[in-house]
């Protein structure tokens, strides 16, 4: 009846409003719906949030029934959020009030770090707070400035510092600026470069999974808002090589490619083979590299039922410019593996196909591999069997449940065991993750010969073959740029954050020079050549991200954070 003007989404509102008290008028909005204030108990991300509304709301609409009598709010104690956007406007009198916190649907549904509490606040206001609103406004502004200084130089941003690798202590040290190289060597000619891995969030996938972004204001989710932010991030970080995932084809064709080319990049792109119109791109600065070869990898195989997913990869062989060796090359690979947590068999097969392509592209004349960097969204968490396989170069998957391969689910549904072998022989990839079509035919002929010559031992040969085939291997000695946990606290680093989870799934792996990470698994076998990690852009915790309302937010327009590392090419 009397509140019919109030939109339905406002009636369900579970967050704070800023109101202006002006004589006989009950409430008038001075700005669009803002996240400037928040109840101290913090709202849950799955609450229904309002759409952006125009600033010319009627000044005559009144409180709906859930507000109750205005007298109840006259003596309330109101709190300010860390990132107030509009509490310091120049109006005569102002006040902030807070709605009751909606009850949670189920405990443990969302990470506990989202339930931030504001400390040092009392429920009973002092007489001074009731009588002097101007003093309260000054305190509000001071609180905002202090929080901005703590969490970032701009409103709604997380400050990420640059870390440089310290050779003496084998640890990462914080550096104030990216240009202060603390890892210089005595060699006269060096080649340093930076690599970024960034899942920029396809607009089609965003709109198809809107339940993951209920915590976001809708205007922040439009591509017209997001793309300028993403492009600005790329400009500011200024990487020499970009490995981008979830690059939507129409956006790449009309905006992304031309924008990056104007920044001095050459772009290579591989679109997914199915209906989802996104893919992977590798872009490099032509002032630093020239292209030797571009090799797309399609993980879909029509004749193999296991490989019915449309994920892709892209492998580039680049030649550094201004380098002392004319035949120097660097292999850059980029991929986005299948998400489904319960299909670890597909994930491992897709990874093996990518590694096989790298093994065919990266060999040098002397039989060794050129330096390799593998970037991407692997949809697997640190310490999972898939992650360990990448870093350690081996995995015995006998008896391993399919749902535990990626580690995405702590208690995976279903306990189906990986088959041995995981993929059929006609894929043409061996258990060492290399293309071996000819060798496969030779092995099959050899087995047939053994069966005819020694029929009594046939069963033993088959059993031995099955046992050996449960061990996956690859020939690269790879290290991770990031350590995935903060050494001081043990708190996990986070690369993606939305309404359902906040974890690490994005990585930059590289073939380390022998003296770079000698304490890592497999590093003792590294060749003298390779890549030396000079530094990286630090990651943040889940709690840090929720201080700016998770991802995407006003400044970070993807649900992933960009990863950035600086390398030095070490000659053999």
Cα separations (Å) of 286 from 269, 374, 564? 16, 20, 19
80-85-87 Cα angle (round to 5): 55
Pair of tokens at residue 62: 């009144």
Per DSSP, the residues of 35-95 read: -SB--TT---TTSPPPPP--S---TT----GGG--THHHHT----B-TT-SSTT---S--E
Q: Which residue has the tokens 């969490």?
A: 151
Mean of pLDDT values over 494-518: 90
pLDDT tens digits, 225-235: 999 999 999 99
What span, in angstroms and rounded, lies between the C-alpha atoms of 530 and 476? 11
Q: What is the CA radius of gyration of the chain?
A: 28
Mean pLDDT of 13-25: 40
What separation in angstroms does the CA of 25 have from each of 61, 174, 266? Answer: 9, 54, 60
The pLDDT value recorded for residue 62 is 42
Distance of CA 155 to the CA centre of its chain: 22
SS3 266: strand
Q: What is the pLDDT of residues 120-146, one digit of tens each?
A: 444 444 444 444 434 443 333 333 334
**pTM higher than 0.75 for the full model?**
no
The pLDDT, as a whole number, for residue 412 is 82
- CA-nearest of 310, 349, 286, 354 to 509 is 354
Q: Are 534 and 163 in contact (CB under 8 A)?
A: no
Residue 112 has pLDDT above 60, yes or no: no
Tens digit of each residue's pLDDT (9 = 90 or more) over 373-416: 999 999 999 999 999 999 999 999 999 999 999 999 988 877 79
Lowest mean pLDDT among 274-278, 516-520, 533-537: 516-520
Least confident range of 104-113, 296-305, 511-520: 104-113
- Strand stretches in 158-259, DSSP E: 162-166, 171-175, 191-199, 241-248
Q: How confident is the model at residue 98 (pLDDT cuts 50, 70, 90)?
A: very low
Q: How far apart are CA 296 and CA 332, in angstroms?
A: 12
Indicate whether 280 pLDDT > 70: yes
C-alpha 566/C-alpha 531 separation (Å) is: 10
pLDDT in tens, 307-347: 999 999 999 999 999 866 767 899 999 999 999 999 999 99
CA distances from 422 to 348, 378, 446, 571 (A): 8, 18, 22, 37
Residue written as token pair 């772009």: 267
- Are the C-beta atoms of 414 and 342 separated by less than 8 Å? yes
pLDDT at 444: 66
Beta strands in 321-407 (DSSP E): 330-336, 372-377, 394-396
Map residue 547 onto helix, strand or coil: coil
Does pLDDT of 96 surpass 60? no
Spatial separation of the C-alpha atoms in residues 241 and 112, rounded to whole Å:
36
pLDDT band for position 22 (cuts 50, 70, 90): very low
The pLDDT tens digits of the residues spanning 175-201 come to 755 555 545 544 446 899 999 999 999
CATH class of 191-434+470-518+526-570: alpha beta
DSSP string, 7-32: -HHHHT--S-EEE--BTTB----SSS
Instruction: Express each pLDDT in 521-570 by its tens digit.
Output: 433 333 457 999 999 999 999 999 999 999 999 999 999 999 999 999 98
pLDDT, position 29: 38
Q: Are 22 and 93 in contact (CB under 8 A)?
A: yes
Quickly state the pLDDT bin for 465 (edges 50, 70, 90).
very low
Average pLDDT along the chain? 76
Distances (CA, A) of 419 to 350, 415, 424, 469, 537: 15, 12, 10, 10, 40
List b or e across 327-353, with b for residues whose CB sees 16 or more CB atoms inside 10 angstroms.
ebbbbbbbbbbbeebbbbbbbbbbbbb
Where b means 16+ CB within 10 Å and e means fewer, 205-238 reads: bbeeeeebbebbbeebbebeebbebbbebbeebe
Sign of the CA dihedral with 110 first, then 114, 118, and 119 last:
positive
Q: What is the pLDDT of residue 560?
A: 98
- Residue 308's contacts (CB-CB under 8 Å, 6 or more residues apart) are 300
The number of CA neighbours under 13 Å toward the Cβ of 505 is 25
pLDDT tens-digit series, residues 489-500: 999 999 999 999
Confidence of residue 212 (pLDDT cuts 50, 70, 90): very high
**pLDDT at residue number 190:** 84
The model's confidence at residue 107, banded by pLDDT at 50, 70 and 90, is very low
**For the chain, domain boundaries:** 191-434+470-518+526-570
Q: pLDDT of 59-71, one tens digit each? A: 334 444 444 444 3
* Measured distance CA(336)–CA(248) in Å, rounded: 13
pLDDT for residue 76: 39
Which range, of 18-27, 256-265, 361-370, 464-473, averages the lowest pLDDT? 18-27
Q: CA 391, CA 481: separation in Å to the nearest integer?
A: 11
Q: Which two tokens stand for residue 298?
A: 């399609």
End-to-end CA separation in angstroms for the chain: 80
Other CB atoms within 10 Å distance of the CB of residue 267 = 18
Please count the other Cβ atoms lying within 10 Å of the Cβ belonging to residue 322. 8
Q: What is the percentage of the chain residues whose pLDDT exceeds 70? A: 61
For the residues 74-84, what does the mean pLDDT come to? 38
Give which of 499, 270, 503, 493 is closest to 406, Cα–Cα.
503
- Helices 344-361 and 385-392: crossing angle in degrees, nearest 10, is 20
């Amino acid at each position: 009846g009397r509140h019919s003007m109030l939109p339905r989404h406002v009636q369900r509102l579970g967050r704070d409003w800023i109101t202006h008290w002006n004589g006989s008028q009950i409430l008038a909005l001075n700005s669009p719906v803002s996240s400037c204030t928040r109840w101290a108990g913090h709202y849950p991300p799955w609450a229904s949030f309002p759409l952006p509304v125009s600033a010319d709301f009627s000044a005559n609409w009144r409180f709906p029934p859930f507000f109750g009598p205005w007298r109840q709010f006259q003596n309330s104690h109101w709190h300010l959020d860390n990132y107030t956007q509009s509490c310091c406007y120049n109006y005569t009198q102002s006040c902030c009030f807070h709605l009751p916190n909606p009850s949670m649907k189920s405990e443990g549904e969302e990470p506990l770090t989202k339930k931030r509490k504001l400390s040092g606040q009392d429920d009973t206001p002092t007489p001074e707070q009731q009588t002097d609103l101007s003093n309260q406004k000054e305190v509000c502004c001071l609180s905002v400035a202090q929080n901005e200084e703590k969490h970032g130089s701009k409103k709604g941003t997380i400050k990420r510092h640059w870390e440089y690798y310290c050779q003496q202590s084998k640890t990462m040290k914080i550096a104030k600026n990216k240009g202060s190289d603390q890892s210089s060597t005595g060699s006269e000619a060096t080649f340093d470069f930076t690599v970024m891995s960034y899942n920029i969030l396809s607009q089609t996938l965003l709109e198809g999974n809107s339940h993951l972004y209920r915590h976001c204001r809708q205007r922040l989710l439009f591509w017209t808002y997001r793309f300028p932010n993403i492009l600005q991030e790329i400009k500011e970080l200024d990487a020499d090589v970009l490995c981008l995932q979830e690059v939507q084809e129409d956006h790449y064709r009309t905006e992304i490619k031309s924008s990056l080319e104007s920044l001095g990049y050459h772009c290579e792109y591989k679109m997914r083979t199915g209906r989802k119109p996104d893919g992977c791109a590798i872009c490099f600065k032509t002032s630093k590299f020239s292209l030797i070869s571009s090799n797309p990898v399609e993980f879909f195989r029509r004749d193999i039922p296991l490989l019915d997913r449309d994920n892709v990869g892209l492998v580039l062989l680049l030649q550094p410019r201004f380098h002392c060796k004319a035949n120097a090359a660097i292999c850059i690979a980029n991929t986005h593996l299948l998400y489904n947590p319960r299909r670890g068999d597909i994930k491992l097969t897709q990874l093996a196909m990518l590694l096989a392509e790298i093994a065919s592209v990266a060999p040098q004349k002397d039989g060794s591999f050129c330096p390799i960097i593998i970037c991407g969204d692997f949809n697997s968490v640190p310490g999972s069997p898939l992650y360990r396989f990448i870093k350690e170069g081996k995995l015995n998957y006998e008896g391993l449940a399919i749902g535990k391969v990626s580690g995405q689910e702590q208690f995976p549904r279903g306990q189906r065991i990986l088959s041995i072998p995981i993929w059929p022989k006609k894929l043409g990839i061996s258990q060492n993750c290399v293309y071996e079509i000819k060798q496969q035919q030779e092995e099959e002929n050899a087995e047939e010969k053994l069966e005819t010559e020694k029929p009594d031992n046939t069963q033993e040969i088959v059993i031995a073959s099955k046992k050996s085939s449960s061990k996956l291997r690859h020939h690269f000695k790879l290290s991770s740029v990031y350590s995935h946990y903060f050494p001081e606290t043990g708190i996990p680093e986070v690369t993606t954050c939305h309404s359902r989870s906040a974890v690490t799934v994005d990585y930059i792996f590289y073939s380390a020079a022998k003296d770079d990470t000698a304490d890592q698994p497999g590093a003792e076998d590294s060749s003298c050549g390779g890549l030396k990690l000079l530094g990286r852009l630090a990651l943040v915790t889940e709690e840090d991200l929720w201080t700016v309302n998770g991802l995407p937010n006003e400044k970070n327009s993807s649900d992933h954070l960009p990863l950035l590392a600086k390398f030095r090419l070490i000659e053999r």
